[in-house]
Chains A and B, each alone.
Chain A
Amino acid sequence: MIKQLAVIFFTMILVDNYVLSKFLGICPFLGVSKKLDSAVGMSLAVVFVMVMATAATWPIQTFLLDPNGMGYLQTIVFILIIAILVQLLENFLKKFIPALYRSLGVYLPLITTNCTILGVTILNIDNEYNFIESIVCAAGAGLGFLVAMVLFSGVRRRVEQARPPECFKGLPITLVAAAMTSLSFMGFGGIVDAIFG
């Protein structure tokens, strides 16, 4: 059991990294990765909301949608649930954990409509994970996002120092750098199975 959870966890971080392998959440990946501290802030908010969203959507899918044969409503219901959840979470943090609220700052409402969150919740259902596995998967996916953001903010600092050809300046060179970072993560393919299998 523990071994299986560990396999899921590390697979989500390294092999099936949501940003670099599944190409979800590219918008914050390119938008918020300019500075290390904002990248970390955003990523922590994503980890937090991913776990909470999975904890909320898994029971709804399993106990409400599936028994009534309404699995096709998954996308719209999940979006609704995640939006409500983030709003609720924001209110809650503001009142009870102001320190965390301040450090997450504007990133919390920003990820209301982040596709990685929706992606994790839906893929958890598609992979037929049970509740515990879903939570571990969500935490791993969130940490994978954090790793990708932190690595890429370092890459971007180097890119800013360099002088690419005029036509590559700005977004094009950033996309090329993102592609290379993504390629480098292909090297992790099979590593988790080799360690735990």
Chain B
Amino acid sequence: MSSQDESKGVAPRSRPRSKRLRAVWQSLETVTDPEIPVINIVEMGMINDVRLDEDHVIVDMTPTFAGCPALDFIRSEIRAAVSGFEKEVKVNVVFDPPWSTDRITEEARQKLKAFGLAPPTPASCEKGQEDMQHVPCPLCDSTHTSLESIFGPTLCRSIHYCHDCLQSFEHFKTIR
């Protein structure tokens, strides 16, 4: 992964060197954020690094929102998921590089949309240009939509209304 990608805040997906390390990453893919059950924490870009040493599996995770109430729950889920390697599990909470919605994989964005949650503005859009007033509707793709509320049922969501299919919908807010 080039340094250019990293500067955009894309997850530094380390290439697992060993079979064991790959297995740890695969185990992490079984852990989901309970508030967004359709995508796993690796697809979410919440895992910054995984390392193995003599006695430990070390997982660096970065929180989506600092006040995310699911954080402790996710940490314990990570511990449980990688408990099968006969090593002590250490889960560090790190802020560098910080989590951003640009780290959510394209595949995961499609899953969010299928879940009925309008995905965050893609990284290719100019910074600061995200238009909260005309977020594309995840149900009919119309941009004839309006922002109802910046805050929604979870910290990461806002509430919108589609004037074409006459449905309200939620949007995963862009964080960068």
A binds B: no
